[in-house]
């Protein structure tokens, strides 16, 4: 057995050194977080491994957007699976600002003032739906002129390539296009971006979202990969799509779940890595860990440690 050691913290300690102290400490989620860094380092270093990243939209409304962007800029991930809301927040923040708010704000008052709340983030109406309609409708028109049917992955890259103004370099999808990292959104109509597609469709009935082309591309990636790894942030459709496709090749070889969801309600979001083994979504001998905690804390710590470890 390995003995528990006290953390030895000193002024100026680096994030990677802190993670190593957490590993020595033995408990509780600190140890899991340390293992997550180890697993992430292994899957990124494994040249035979394609790394899949999934995440929900909410964290894109926060500064953690920059952490996700860093993973893409470093090319530490090969495939992104996310939600329509990610497109909403990522695109909106190219042209407009979100603001610090409060979980305990008067929501009725916010509504009357035209301010949306995402946890303790405030997104004014002018920073969300209005700017997206203004910017996206001309872009969707250009898509339509080029061809009538689009997969989410092709559409996202094409939209990103059209962005010429605003703070585009900070955008997740712009960096994904720039670094040729595919982004798949299986629930493309579930948000403001999707509503803009629907709006365009009202006068262009031959405009088509080709979801099956996305599925074929995901299938091709999975089956041409010798190994696969998953960094799964949160739950929902993004998490499920990532692990679902990987079951068909025998499961993920590496897996990290970062979650706040509980297991006892039987939900997909709360299901831990060990449950996925029963489905074949993660291999029985995979290197895997579930880390309970807010990803706005855990993910920056993991990525900061990796920046110290990986050249």
For CA atoms 307, 233, 77, 222, give the dihedral sign: positive
- At residue 106, does pLDDT exceed 90? yes
Q: From residue 25, how far is each of 6, 9, 226, 308 by CA, in Å? A: 6, 12, 35, 21
Q: What is the mean pLDDT of residues 43-54?
A: 99
Instruction: State pLDDT tens for residues 5-16.
Output: 999 999 999 999
pLDDT at residue number 40: 99
pLDDT at residue number 304: 99
Instruction: State pLDDT tens for residues 244-297.
Output: 999 999 999 999 999 999 999 999 999 999 999 999 999 999 999 999 999 999
Tokens 């898509």 appear where? 143
Mean pLDDT of the chain: 98
Give the pTM.
Answer: 0.98
Helix locations, the chain, DSSP H: 15-25, 29-45, 65-73, 84-95, 107-113, 129-146, 152-162, 172-178, 192-201, 211-223, 236-246, 273-279, 295-309
The catalytic residue among 35, 50, 281, 283 is 281
pLDDT at residue number 272: 98
Say if residues 299 and 306 touch (Cβ distance below 8 Å): no
Quote the percentage of the chain above a pLDDT of 90: 100
Q: Is 281 a catalytic residue?
A: yes
**Omega prior to 28 cis, within 30 of 0:** yes
Instruction: State pLDDT tens for residues 177-235.
Output: 999 999 999 999 999 999 999 999 999 999 999 999 999 999 999 999 999 999 999 99
Say if residues 70 and 156 touch (Cβ distance below 8 Å): no
pLDDT at residue number 311: 78
Question: For the chain, how long is the longest CA-to-CA vector?
Answer: 68
Which domains are assigned to the chain? 15-96+127-309 (3.40.910.10)
């Amino acid at each position: 057995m390995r003995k528990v050691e006290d953390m030895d913290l000193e002024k100026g300690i680096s994030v990677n050194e802190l993670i190593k102290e957490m590993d020595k400490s033995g408990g509780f989620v600190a140890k899991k977080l340390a293992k997550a860094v180890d697993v992430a380092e292994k899957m990124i270093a494994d040249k035979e491994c394609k790394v899949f990243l999934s995440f929900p939209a909410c964290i894109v409304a926060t500064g953690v957007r920059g952490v996700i962007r860093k993973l893409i800029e470093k090319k530490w991930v090969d495939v992104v699976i996310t939600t329509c809301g990610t497109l909403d927040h990522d695109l909106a923040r190219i042209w407009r600002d979100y603001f610090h708010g409060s979980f305990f704000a008067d929501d009725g008052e916010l509504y009357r003032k035209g301010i949306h709340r995402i946890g303790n983030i405030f997104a004014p109406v002018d920073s969300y739906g209005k700017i997206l309609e203004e910017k996206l409708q001309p872009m969707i028109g250009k898509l339509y002129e080029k061809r009538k049917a689009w997969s989410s992955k092709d559409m996202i890259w094409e939209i990103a390539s059209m962005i010429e103004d605003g703070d585009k370099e900070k955008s997740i999808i712009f960096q994904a296009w720039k670094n040729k990292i595919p982004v798949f959104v299986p629930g493309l109509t579930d948000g403001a971006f999707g509503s803009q597609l629907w709006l365009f469709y009202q006068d262009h009935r031959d405009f088509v979202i080709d979801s099956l082309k996305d599925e074929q591309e995901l299938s091709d990636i999975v089956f041409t990969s010798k190994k696969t790894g998953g960094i799964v942030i949160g739950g929902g459709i993004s998490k499920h799509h990532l692990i679902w496709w990987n079951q068909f090749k025998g499961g993920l070889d590496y897996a990290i779940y970062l979650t706040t969801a509980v297991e006892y309600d039987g939900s997909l979001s709360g299901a831990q890595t060990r449950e996925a083994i029963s489905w074949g979504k993660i291999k029985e001998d995979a290197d895997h860990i579930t880390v309970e905690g807010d990803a706005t804390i855990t993910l920056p710590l993991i990525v900061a440690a990796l920046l110290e470890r990986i050249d």
